[in-house]
Amino acid sequence: MEKFALVTGAGSGVGKCISLALMREGYSLALAGRRPEPLEATAQESRNYGVRTLVVPTDIGDPAAVDQLFRQIKESFGRLDLLFNNAGIFAPAMSLEDLGHEQWQAAVDINLSGAFLCTQGAFRLMKEQQPRGGRIINNGSVSAHAPRPHAVSYTVTKHAITGLTKATSLDGRQYDIACGQIDIGNAASDMTDAISKGVLQADGSIRPEPVMDTEHVARAVVYMASLPLDANVQFMTVMATKMPYIGRG
């Protein structure tokens, strides 16, 4: 039976790596993100795996754009078995009192509202399709537990993702919709280049941090996705072993 997944932020970094891993597992994919060119590049690699891809450039913070995304998924695939809520942005690093409202709102729109809108669209589709149900996996980040200095908008939105995960798990229970969260720490990508070179620590020092291959994250997500709907990984943390997370600060 063909399996269908949606990955947001699928054009680069963790999103691209996980998209390719899901393709290798036989998933046909809807690829969403702001920029069409990276999405098309990810889709090109589907030829190696014999699966279908649907490229939908989408501002996930825009409710109308998300509605259109899910209309296209329903028309093209007919169902959705897996949503990986991955898209996210960092605001520029700065002290809490200096963060502008526009910068705050941009992080809330993408990191939180975007994840909620995509969850809402997936929930509606999964609830009505036959066979009923599906799985939603949220990219939480270790910032859902412990903040970095000068990262208030990212920290707050990722803490809120944990609440979204729990609420979705509860509300989805009666419809065979499972929801879990993967909290990722220092997976190598364009977003973490600065971390490996030197980043502000809680004690005010600047130090490089270890990073890990993103493939380890992809393997974890594939495992979470592989479970039957009567089993769920509620929360999983995958991180570079020696990063300053346990005991951060």
The answer, yes or no, to whether the previous bond of 131 is cis (omega within 30 of 0) is yes
Contacts of 247 (CB under 8 A, 6+ apart): none
pLDDT of residue 248: 61
Q: Would you state the pLDDT for residue 138?
A: 98
End-to-end CA distance of the chain: 48
Please write the tens of the pLDDT for every residue from 126-136: 999 999 999 99
Nearest alpha-carbon partner for 186 in 150, 219, 216, 151: 216
Q: Which of these, 64, 68, 71, 81, lies nearest to 29 by C-alpha position?
A: 81
Active-site residue (options: 27, 49, 154, 223): 154
pTM equals: 0.95
Contacts with 57 (C-beta within 8 Å, 6 or more apart), sequence order: 32, 33, 34, 35, 36, 39
- Scored b (16 or more CB within 10 A) or e, 37-76 reads ebbeebbeebeebebebbbbbbbbbeeebbeebbebbbee
Q: Which of 186, 185, 162 is nearest to 234 (CA)?
A: 162
Distance (Å, whole) CA 124 – CA 118: 10
For residue 249, pLDDT over 60 is answered with no
What pLDDT was estimated at residue 99? 96
Interatomic CA distance for residues 205 and 199, integer angstroms: 8
pLDDT in tens, 173-228: 999 999 999 999 999 877 677 788 898 888 889 999 899 999 999 999 999 999 99
SS3 180: strand
Can you tell me the mean pLDDT for 100-117? 97
Mark whether 223 is an active-site residue: no
Q: Domain 3-239 maps to which CATH number in 3.30.450.20, 3.40.50.300, 3.40.50.720, 3.30.200.20?
A: 3.40.50.720
Q: In Å, how far from its chain's centre is CA 13?
A: 11
Position 73 scores a pLDDT of: 98
- Whether 176 and 133 have beta carbons less than 8 Å apart is answered as yes
